[in-house]
Amino acid sequence: MGDHSGYRTGAERVEVLERILGENERVARANRAAFDAAGVTVVNLMSAPGAGKTTLLAETLRRLAPHRRIGVIEGDIETSLDADRLAGFGASIALVNTGNGFGGECHLDAPMIASALPRLPLAELDLVIIENVGNLVCPAEFAVGEDRRAMVFAVTEGEEKPLKYPVMFRSADLVLVNKTDLLPHLDFDTEAFRRNLDAVHPGVDVLAISARTGMGVNAWCDWLADPLGAPGAAPTR
Ligand SMILES: Nc1nc2c(ncn2[C@@H]2O[C@H](COP(=O)(O)OP(=O)(O)OP(=O)(O)O)[C@@H](O)[C@H]2O)c(=O)[nH]1
Ligand SMILES: [Mg+2]
């Protein structure tokens, strides 16, 4: 075969990727078994950087943490800034920095979630929300043992994004359209966005929210209370 000087052929790349995803799948199943054994529902929250995941989670914990036992796995490449923002609401927080022993990856994978589990009192929790690393591509490729996926899309990102990043939009069970308080200041085309979303994920549940004003956050909390319920039960399209 000779020295490839760090380069791989297409076939070799596919083989390596399949091995990584196969190993991820195995650990994701183990995570899922641990969550099921503890009776915990798990939601994987994904988005591009800055779409509003942490702001929404703070509003979510403010509403739900007094009534439900919630854990958060906070994924970031570096810093505890987001984990710190979610402290003090009564939820259990486990931080995963991918830059700390996980190669600075741009997503959370199943082994990273497994590393966080000993730091959560799983048996005492009802719901675990995973804030994935801000990235519109890679997080969608890695199952982590979650029951449901939700993604936050901010109207500041542009209505064409479902067409450009279809894998993420297709993998979400619920699309939260955030920062709607900014709509009067933007030329965001809501109808075109809905058409583009329908083109890549027909019939997906959609919920318009503003994590800033709180609009729609209660409906999101209702979905979280029963994310395994009938599709389309809570969100409005
Ligand atoms: N106007 C407005 N700003 C928002 C809203 N939600 C979040 N923001 C702002 O958007 C910025 C990014 O919000 P974050 O909650 O940090 O976003 P994130 O998705 O957690 O970001 P990463 O974790 O870095 O990917 C902050 O300045 C928030 O105050 C919203 O509904 N309306
Ligand atoms: Mg965040």
What CATH number is associated with residue 78?
Answer: 3.40.50.300
Question: What ligand has the least distance to the C-alpha of 58?
Answer: 1
Residue located nearest, by CA, to atom 29 of ligand 1: 55
The answer to whether position 217 is within a domain reads: yes
Question: Which pairing describes strands 148-154 and 174-178: parallel, antiparallel, or unpaired?
Answer: parallel
Tokens of 164: 């450009």
Q: Which residues are near ligand 1 (CB < 6 Å)?
A: 47, 49-55, 82, 134, 178-179, 181-182, 210-212
Q: Is 5 inside a domain boundary?
A: no
Structural domain harbouring 134: 10-225
**pLDDT score, position 19:** 80
Q: What is the pTM of this model?
A: 0.92
**Is residue 200 over pLDDT 80?**
yes
Residues 6+ apart with CB under 8 A from 80: 74, 95, 97
Ligand 1, atom 7: nearest CA belongs to which residue? 52
Q: Whose CA is nearest to atom 12 of ligand 1?
A: 50
Task: Please report whether residue 49 resides in a domain.
Answer: yes
User: Could you read off the pLDDT of 147-178 as tens digits, one per residue?
Assistant: 999 999 999 999 999 999 999 999 999 999 99
Count up the domains in the chain and report the number: 1
In ligand 1, the atom with minimum distance to the C-alpha of 58 is: 15
**149 found inside a domain:** yes
- Tell me what pLDDT residue 1 has: 42
Residue 135 counted as domain residue = yes
The predicted-structure confidence for 139-150, as pLDDT tens digits, reads as follows: 999 999 999 999
Strands (E), the chain: 41-47, 70-76, 92-97, 127-131, 148-154, 174-178, 205-208
Task: Note whether residue 83 is domain-resident.
Answer: yes
Domain membership of residue 191 (yes or no) is yes
Cα gap 90→70, rounded to integer Å = 8
Q: Would you say residue 129 lies in a domain?
A: yes
Give me the torsion for CA of 83, 87, 90, 93, rounded to 10°: 20
